[in-house]
Structure 1
C-alpha cells in the first residue's frame, strides 16, 4: 500500500501563494490540495505545519556532483557531493555536469554518481559533455546520449568566452544545439544546452551569433554565471529580453565578489528592475565546482568549493535583504529551472506532481522538514538518511 501523509495548516507557495491549505501525499505524488482534509486514525501520518511555509523542493540546474576543479593542480580536485547536504538544504532535484576536467573526471563517473544520489532519495539528472568541444559522450553522440540514456536531458556545461574553453566556432555551437534539440524533440526531453560563460570580452555574443546564423531558438541555449560582472549581466538582460533564459550562480566568495561579481540575489533584483520577466531567470549552486579567481594574465589567485546550500541561502537573501517578491524569488529556484530543463513533475506543488516539499519556518527562515519523492528525508532538523553509509 502506498504511504499516505497529510500536511495540515501549511502556508502553501506552489510557487504561487495559495494561502493556508492542507496537502495530501500518496506514495511519491501530491494527491490533493484542499481545506479541512483529515485522515482516519489508522491510515497514514499527519503533520501539522502550524502556518509554516510549504515550498516545492528546490531544483538545482547545475552541480558538479562527482567533483570538479583541478585548475590548481591535482590536489585542487574537489570532492563529490554528499546527498545529505543537498537534502538538509531543501534541494531535492539536481542536474550533474562536468566542467573544466573531462579527463580525470568522466561521464561514466558522473552517471554512477547520479544513480547513487537517486538511490539516496534525490532526483538526479545529468548532461552529456563538459567545457570542451568536441563534446564528450557516453554512447558516441549527443543525439543518442539524450535519446537512449534516461537521465541525460541535455548538454553542458559547454564553455564560451573563457580562457579554459575550447573556443567553439559559431558553426560548432549551432551543430551541438541542433543535435540536442532534435534528440530532445524525439525523446520528450528539453535537449537544453547549458553554457558556461566566462569573463572574457565576448560574453554572450557567440550565442547571439549562433541564433542569428540558424533556426535554433534562443531558448535552446541556457547560459550560466551571468552574475559574473556588470557587463555580462547587461548582456544577459538583452539575452532574456530576446526570449532566452539566464542563470545566476549562488556560490561565491568575498574574493570573487571583490573582482566585480554580483551575488545572485542582487543580480536577480537588477534583472527584474531592468524588465526581465521573472519566468526567465534561474539560480543554480555550481555545487562542488571550483570557484576560481584568476588575475588578468590568467594565473590562478585562489580557489574555493561551491556549496549546494548556497541555493537556499540566496533565495532567502533575495527575500530578506533585497526585498524581492517572495513568489518571484521562489520561482528562480523551483518552477523556472524545472521548466527550462523540461522536468514537468518538478518545481511546483499541484495534484499529480512529485512530492518534493520543504517546510520552512516563516519567522526564522529555517528549514524544518524536507520531503523527497514522498519520504521525509529531513525532519525537525535531523536527517533521515537512507544511504549505504548512513552511520558515517
Structure 2
C-alpha cells in the first residue's frame, strides 16, 4: 500500500494539491489530506510535483529491430530499465523488417517476461511481410487465443514490404477484426507506413468500397504522410506519430496536427529499439539510427516548452487517446479511482523524477529501483 501526498494531478489547476492512495495495484482514493490508518503503509511526500498517468507506447520493438545492414545491425532487446527511465508503464511489442532471426514465439515470450517484471505488456502478431508470420497458424487464432496478442502488424507503402494488393489487406483486416470480436480485444491492423508513393491510398480505397470499419486500421509513422493522416483522422480513424530522437521535429508536427485533426484521434509512439534507416532515392542505405523509448517524454516536454501546448493536451497522445484506441480506457490513461496505479511525477522543469507502475515505485529521484533480471 502506498500513499503519495502533496501532488498536483490537474495540470489545468496547478494550485490544487491532492493525495493518491494506492493498494492492490489500483488507485483506491484521490483527495486532500488522506490519512488511512493502516499497517505496512508507505507514505511518500510528492513535494508539490505534478502527477501524470504512466505513458502508453504502442509501437516498441521489444526484441530489437534492425537487420537492414546485415546480421551485425540487429538492435538489442528492450530492457525493463529503459521503460522505467522513460516513464512508460504499458508497451505493445511487435516485429519489423526482420521476422527471420526473430519470431512471433520469441515476441510472445518477451511480452510475458516484461509483464512478470512489472509492466503492462501486449504484442502484435505478424511483421512487415505478407502472409503474416503467426504462432498458431492464423492471425485470427493468434488474436483470439493468445492473451497478449491484440492485433496484427503489416507494412504498406514501403520498399521492404510485401507490396500488398487490396484484397490481401482486406482479408488480413477481416481476420484481425473477427479474432478481436470473438476474444473481446481491439483486433487492430497496425500499419507501418513507409515513404512510398501510395501513402494511405490503399486504406482510402478499402474504406470507400468495403464494409470494414475505419477503427480496424491503425497507421503509424504518419509524419511521412501528414496530409493523408489528417484526412484519415477527420474520417474517424486513429493516426500514430513517431517520436524522433530529439523530440523537436515530432513535437512541431503534433502541434500542427492538433490544429487540423481531432485531438482524440492522435497518438504518439517511439519505435523504440527499432532501426531508423535513412535511404537515398535509389533505396540504398545511407545510415541507421535506433529508436529510444525516452523520446516519448522528450516530445511531451518539447510540446509544452517550445510549442506552447498545454501539458494536459500534450499528454493526451500518450495517455487518454492511446488508452481509448487500445481498448484500455477503463483502466489506463487517467489518475482516478479504480484505474491502474501507473503514474509519473514531474518536477518543476517537467523532468521525470518518480515512476510508479502497478503501484510499485520503479524510479525515485531519477534513480532506477527495478531492473530486469540480467541487467547490471
Same fold (TM over 0.5): yes
Equivalents in 2 of 1:189, 1:22: separation in Å?
33
Correspondence 1:58 to 2:55: yes
| Secondary structure of residue in 1 paired with 2:172 | helix
| Secondary structure of residue in 2 paired with 1:178 | helix
Q: Offset at 1:386?
A: 5.1
Q: Verify the 8 A CA contact 1:66 1:80 in the aligned structure 2.
A: yes
Match of 1:86 in 2: 83
Listed as ranges, the matches of 1:123-138 within 5 Å are 123-138=120-135
* Aligned positions, number: 375
> 284-293 or 105-114: which moved more?
105-114
Structure 1, unmatched stretches of 5+, are 255-261
TM-score by length of 2: 0.96
Match of 1:152 in 2: 149
Match of 2:300 in 1: 315
Correspondence 1:375 to 2:356: no
Match of 2:228 in 1: 235
Q: Verify the 8 A CA contact 1:129 1:137 in the aligned structure 2.
A: yes
> 381-390 or 214-223: which moved more?
381-390
RMSD of the alignment, in Å? 1.8
Match of 1:350 in 2: 336
| Secondary structure of residue in 1 paired with 2:205 | helix
Summarize the Cα distance change of 1:18–1:160 in structure 2 as closer, same or farther, 3 Å threshold: farther
| Secondary structure of residue in 2 paired with 1:61 | strand
Equivalents in 1 of 2:314, 2:339: separation in Å?
21
Match of 1:258 in 2: none
Question: 223, 242, 256: which one pairs with 1:270?
Answer: 256
| CA displacement 1:255-310 (0-9 Å, x = unmatched) | xxxxxxx8221111111122x11100011000011001000000000001110000
Structure 2, unmatched stretches of 5+, are none
Q: Offset at 1:16?
A: 9.7
Q: Verify the 8 A CA contact 1:15 1:335 in the aligned structure 2.
A: no
Match of 2:64 in 1: 67
Listed as ranges, the matches of 1:59-208 within 5 Å are 59-156=56-153, 158-208=154-204
Q: Verify the 8 A CA contact 2:11 2:311 in the aligned structure 1.
A: no
| Secondary structure of residue in 2 paired with 1:377 | strand
| Secondary structure of residue in 1 paired with 2:223 | coil
Match of 2:243 in 1: 250
TM-score by length of 1: 0.92
- Structure 1: which 4+ aligned runs deviate by more than 6 Å? 14-18
Equivalents in 2 of 1:337, 1:16: separation in Å?
23
